[in-house]
Structure 1
Amino acid sequence: MTDEKWIDIRRDLHRIPELGFQEFKTQQYLREYVETLPQDFLTVTPWETGLFVFVEGTVGSQTIAYRTDIDGLPIKEETGFSFESIHEGQMHACGHDLHMTIALGALTEIVYDRPEANVVFLFQPAEEGPGGAEPMLASEPMKRYAPDFVFALHVDPKREVGYVASKPGLLFANTSELFIDFHGKGGHAAYPHETRDMMMAASAFNVQLQQVVGRMVDPLKSAVVTLGKMEAGTVQNIIPEHARVEGTIRTTDAETMDVVKQSIEQMLEGIEVRYGCKTTVDYGANYYMVDNDEDYVERFKQAIEKTNVTYIEAESAMTGEDFGYMLKELPGFMFWLGVDSESGLHTSRLNPNEDAIDIGIEAIVAMIREG
């Protein structure tokens, strides 16, 4: 059973979700908690709206980094919790409130019972967008601490509490947002020949887009291209001069991401000719794949065997995580933490089981002590 202290902290954090690089209340809350800990071997360095919290080890022969994300999502909460978000239209719908609480719990154990290794806790902003991992990786504090490896967790609503899951190699996919605008000439519905109909152009693009994976991508590699939003027009009898589509691209290797983007741009050139329009494409936030280091996953498995937590092998998923940028530069891994929620990630009713907090703390501390 999770200590009431951690449940209270999780609920405090759940009330104040903030979007990427706007996590001012969250940063303050985290700093105030860290200031309650013994400071003799602890250094706190603010970075943007996040924090670096460094704990000096008893030997310091290596430095281990543990990363947690701290931002929320632009989702209206519908949980009915007594501790619902106080920020209208914003919610911790991806479990980052649990992520932060677990990190604080692990930090607390490490401060009071220091390991041989140095440990730096990375409280990273903007995971959900526009992406905080890459700039944090390039920051001066990261270069100064120069961790030997880095690891992180993500809550998994589909797995039961008491279980963690990971795997060597690809865990999460390369991802890219996709925003395309179509600009033509509007006009009266009775005179379509005098217009350049952007609803038609966007619709034709949507149909053609489905050919990218089937005909442009190596069938031995995986990719997903999905449009989730289309906007065009104002009233029923005016042909729209502008249309916009929004979607996502996901691939299992970086090269395939380049192939998909090149195919989309070639397709848009054809749309411009066919429909007499101009198009602009924006790939928004791009996340590199989470590619776990085999040796560190094996060390994690060995560490978990010494605990009451159960390790199981995960499967690769087409979800995205900007932690992949850290793993691109540093060895390490990410693992799933079972939280047994009927509602999934990025939903307005996500309800993770708070008993998972203790499990996450135990898993992290075990890995830090395993080294």
Structure 2
Amino acid sequence: MNEPIRDRLASVRRRFHRHPEPAWREFLTTATLAEEIRSIGVDELAIGPDAYDPADRMAVPDADLEPWIERTREHGADEELLDRMTGGNTGCVAVLDRGEGPAIGLRVDIDGLFIEESTAPDHDPVDEGFRSEIDGTMHACGHDVHMTWGLAVLEAIAESDFAGRLVVFFQPAEETGGGGHPMAESRFADDLDYLLAVHVGLDHPTGEVVAGIEKPLAMAHLDATIEGTSAHAGKAPNEGDNAMQAMGTAIVNAYGIARHADGMTRVNVGWAEAGSASNVVAERAEMEAEARGETTELMEYVKRRFETTVRAAATMHGCRGTVDVVSESPRADSDPELQALVTEVAEGVDGIDGVRPAADFGASEDATFLMERVQDEGGLATYLIVGTDHPTSHHTPTFDVDERSIRHGVDVLVGAIRDLERRHPVPHTGGHATVRSGATGDGSGQG
């Protein structure tokens, strides 16, 4: 029997930190989770395609997955488990079914980022020997902490006299917005009374808890392609249709998409590439962009306008433009009933010296798929933040966490689950907070 996870929180987190794997490549991560979950003992463990329908995935990479699989094999992963994850079907769901009581979901994410971790000697993972072992990949957003929370909470509830059903979603591909949708569409999201999602840090210090986020932005990742005709740039440029020129027009015009009267919108082209040589009229250009909105409808408005802008710019220069939606996520706000419950629980946790009932999120998260599913079926959901002192921002090479916050997160989550069990059913004080109003199909606002 392994030493209890709650007695080795830092070492579990550091084990995950050493082996970050990006979206849909979390093979060793999933194998490690499965090892720990089986040691805990659960009533059901579904891995990869048993946890969701692979057809529901978003942002599945075209790149070869074999190096990531081989690395996992070298670390001694079970071949049968690797076979189940064929095609990048990573992640898992663990279920404790303990009789009559509430059905509670806990969602944590598991993927890393394509960031090279700092080698500076004053970076704690370097100084203490748990820096990422995979070049160009890093847990720079705290998902190593999130997985540790998921395991420790699962263990604590398994060893308690909890009555009800606890479903822990170890969700892959959050950073690309690809994993929330299949988990929300799965049978494991059926009939949940409550959902807790959680994140570490986000500029909230150690000892602070935010009981529920508000105003997460709906988001869409978009890939745009413009195809033209190549020609000799000196001899006969008139015979070409310049995809690079069309791309430049599209980028400039995208930032000119009109803001909307119904609320805040965002658009960004974050990557673009075109052409092959200085003397060749470019025949192909590619862009990666995103559209965001204060509501799901406002995001859809920006997305439609971006698609129109790309096609129009391509046509202007004799080219053809297409836009593919790689992934997207809706807006879903935390329910005030759960915000109040988490606030009360967190105020009684040792080491927590400040609790905020709510805070604006200002970013995007595909946990909103699960939140929306639960809320649409009459349940309650909240997305809470457990603060941590991080020396630099998320998604940077020197991101790290104050490991005291790992214990804080476990205690808050376990306390919230047990409180939901005792108080079930938690009465609704009004409709859930998912925001649907906003832009209409033609881009005009509703009064």
The answer to whether 1:75 aligns with 2:145 is: no
Deviation per CA, 1:33-63, whole angstroms, max 9, x where unpaired?
Answer: 22333x4xx3132230323222244x63211
Query: How many residues get paired?
Result: 360
Contact 1:173 1:320 in 2 (8 A): yes
Residue 383 of structure 2 corresponds to residue 334 of structure 1: yes
Secondary structure at 1:121's aligned position in 2? strand
Distance 1:232 1:269, change over 3 A: closer
One of 247, 253, 272 as aligned partner of 2:295: 253
- Correspondence for 1:303: 345
Q: Kindly tell me: are residues 120 and 94 of structure 1, through their superposed partners in 2, closer, same or farther at Cα, counting changes over 3 Å?
A: same
Matched residue of 1:304: which SS? helix
| Stretch moving more, 235-244 or 320-329 | 235-244
Deviation at 1:236, TM superposition (A): 2.4
Whether 2:357 is the aligned partner of 1:357: answer: no
* TM-score computed with the length of structure 1 as normaliser: 0.90
Q: Please state how far the C-alpha of 1:157 moved relative to its aligned partner.
A: 4.3
Question: What is the alpha-carbon distance in structure 1 between the residues aligned to residue 202 and residue 305 of structure 2?
Answer: 35
CA distance 1:339–1:141, shift in 2 (3 Å): same
CA distance in 1 between counterparts of 2:356 and 2:91 reads 32
CA distance in 2, matches of 1:332, 1:174: 17
Query: Match of 1:205, as an amino acid?
Result: A
Question: Would the alpha carbon gap of residues 46 and 116 (structure 1) be closer, same or farther in structure 2, given more than 3 Å must change?
Answer: closer
Structure number with greater CO (CA < 8 Å, separation at least 6) is 1
Equivalent residue number for residue 19 of structure 2: 16
Partner of residue 30, structure 2 = 27
1:114-171: CA deviation from partner (whole Å, max 9, x where unpaired): 334432222122222352222122223443xx3211111111242211111144643x
Taking a change above 3 Å as real, the CA distance of residues 30 and 270 of structure 1, as seen in their structure-2 partners, is closer
SS at match of 1:12: helix
Determine if contact 1:94/1:346 at 8 Å carries over to the other structure.
Answer: yes
Question: Using the alignment, how far apart are the partners of 2:419 and 2:33 within structure 1?
Answer: 26
Letter in 2 for 1:101: T
> What's the offset of the Cα at 1:364?
0.3
The whole-number CA distance in structure 2 between the counterparts of 1:178 and 1:36 is 41
Partner residue in 1 for 2:96: 55
Question: Does residue 150 of structure 1 match 2:195?
Answer: yes
Work out the CA distance in 2 between the residues paired with 1:266 and 1:157: 34
- Sequence identity (%): 28
Structure 2 stretches of 5 or more lacking a match? 49-89, 121-125, 375-379, 421-447
The alpha-carbon deviation at position 336 of structure 1 amounts to 1.5
- Residue type of the partner of 1:365? V
2:186 maps to a residue whose letter is S
The 2-side partners of 1:3 and 1:140 are apart by 29
Q: 1:74 to 1:366 in 2, by over 3 A?
A: same
Report deviation, 1:226: 0.7
8 Å Cα contact 2:13-2:145 kept in structure 1: yes
CA displacement at 1:289 relative to structure 2: 1.8
CA contact (8 A) 1:168 1:294 kept: no
What is the distance in 2 between the residues matched to 1:18 and 1:167?
Answer: 28
Give the AA of the match of 1:45: L
| Alignment check: 8 A CA contact 1:157 1:340 kept | no
2:161 to 99, 111, 114: 114
Q: SS of the residue aligned with 1:272?
A: helix
1:313, CA displacement in angstroms? 4.4
Structure 2: how far apart are the matches of 1:166 and 1:249?
Answer: 27
Root-mean-square deviation (CA, aligned residues, Å) is: 2.1
| Deviation for aligned residue 1:77 | 2.1
Q: Equivalent residues in 2 for 1:162-311 (5 A)? A: 162-167=207-212, 169-170=214-215, 172-190=216-234, 191-212=236-257, 215=258, 217-308=259-350, 309=352, 310-311=354-355
Deviation for aligned residue 1:99: 0.3
Contact conserved, 1:169 with 1:294, CA < 8 A, in 2?
Answer: no
What does the per-residue CA deviation read over 1:74-127, in whole Å, with 9 as the maximum and x for residues that have no partner? 222225522122223222122110001112222222222233443222212222
Using the alignment, how far apart are the partners of 2:172 and 2:159 within structure 1?
26
Structure 1 distance, partners of 2:296, 2:104, is 27
- Taking the aligned partners of 1:224 and 1:130, their CA distance within structure 2 comes to 17
SS state of the match for residue 348, structure 1?
A: coil
Contact 1:290 1:334 in 2 (8 A): no
SS in 1 for 2:135: coil
> Is the 2:213–2:383 Cα contact (8 Å) retained in structure 1?
no
- CA distance in 2 between counterparts of 1:313 and 1:281 reads 40
**Structure 2 residue aligned with 1:90:** 137
Stretches of structure 1 lacking an aligned partner (at least 5 in a row): none
- Structure 2 CA distance, aligned partners of 1:343 and 1:67? 25
Deviation of 1:244 (Å): 1.4
Conservation of the 8 A alpha-carbon contact between 2:195 and 2:381: yes
Paired with 1:46 and 1:7, the residues of 2 have a C-alpha distance of 26
SS of equivalent residue, structure 1 residue 45: strand
Please state how far the C-alpha of 1:288 moved relative to its aligned partner.
1.6
Q: Greater strand share, 1 or 2?
A: 1
Distance 1:21 1:268, change over 3 A: closer
The letter for the 1-side match of 2:303 is: K
